[in-house]
Amino acid sequence: MSNYFDFVSQELLVKLNQVKAFIKRHNPTIGLLTEEILRDFLRAHLPTIVSVEQGFIIKKSNELSRQCDIIIYDSLLFAPFYRINDVVVVPEEAVLAIIEVKTSITKKIFHDVIGYFSEFKEFHAIKKYLFMFNSIEIERLGEYFRTYKHPGEYQEFDHDTFFDLPDAITGINPSFHLEKDYVISDSDQMGYTSHFFDGMNGAEISALENFFLSVYLVVETHIGARFGQIKGSTERANDHIVHSQVRRSDYHSRTTQSIFAIPLFDM
């Protein structure tokens, strides 16, 4: 069944590349189309218990979040408070994940993204993704992290600010999929680990498939925690209990490798 993941990832990649091929000089349009392509892809391939929209998250205090390029939320149990066309306002308890989409990245844009995600620090249960089309090398991304200007005198990430960062970062051209991680070694560190399939480090398909599998696991975890009626083994994933005999990733036969890629601070 690995061919299935290849096919759907290739379908996504072709559509993203078509935008770049046909619309070359209007970045706002490229950005809007990239977001829409990702939303359509996730709508088509995620379980129908969730909806994939753009819009805002509202807190119980009636505060409204900044606009989210992509919101993945439980639309079976929760209805939006407001909708106009394809823009929604949804309650915080409904949201599983948000995805910020960038068609290109510079140091300033990346630092702005860190500031953007820091405004979601109170939404502890929401998984945060950054998706970059026309990305940069991982080493350069690490430099962007290190040169981020923190408020106050302390100019390094720590345990508190680490949790404000995106949980996963996917880049295409160059291609990678990074997830928050820690490494226990002579110098225990927190940062990001690069996940890829054996022999496919740097491949576009590997990055897109790992992105898709990561988002799918968020939805599977929510289904198991919310309903728990699926018979089978119980396992722990991302600090949630998943009641599921078979996960979508179990149909993926490739071996996943990982390398600690961006160290941010010592534990």
Q: Tens digits of per-residue pLDDT, 155-172?
A: 889 888 998 899 999 999
Q: What is the pTM of this model?
A: 0.88
Asked if pLDDT for residue 41 goes beyond 60, the answer is: yes
Region 69-91 average pLDDT: 94
- What pLDDT does residue 9 have? 80
Region 80-101 average pLDDT: 94
DSSP 56-107: EEE-TTS-BPPPEEEEEEETTT---SEEETTEEEEEGGGEEEEEEEESS--H
CA dihedral 52, 177, 32, 26 (to 10 degrees): -170
The percent of residues above 90 in pLDDT, for the chain, comes to 55
| 23 confidence band (pLDDT: 50, 70, 90) | low
Distance between CA 150 and CA 243 in Å, rounded? Answer: 40
Q: What is the mean pLDDT of the chain?
A: 86
Asked if pLDDT for residue 8 goes beyond 90, the answer is: no
Region 53-72 average pLDDT: 94
Place of tokens 């995620």: 46
- What pLDDT does residue 228 have? 73
| Domain boundaries along the sequence of the chain | 2-266
Burial of 240 per CB tally in 10 Å (0-12, 13-18, 19+): middle
Q: Tens digits of per-residue pLDDT, 203-247?
A: 999 999 999 999 999 999 999 888 874 444 445 444 444 444 578
Asked if pLDDT for residue 53 goes beyond 90, the answer is: yes
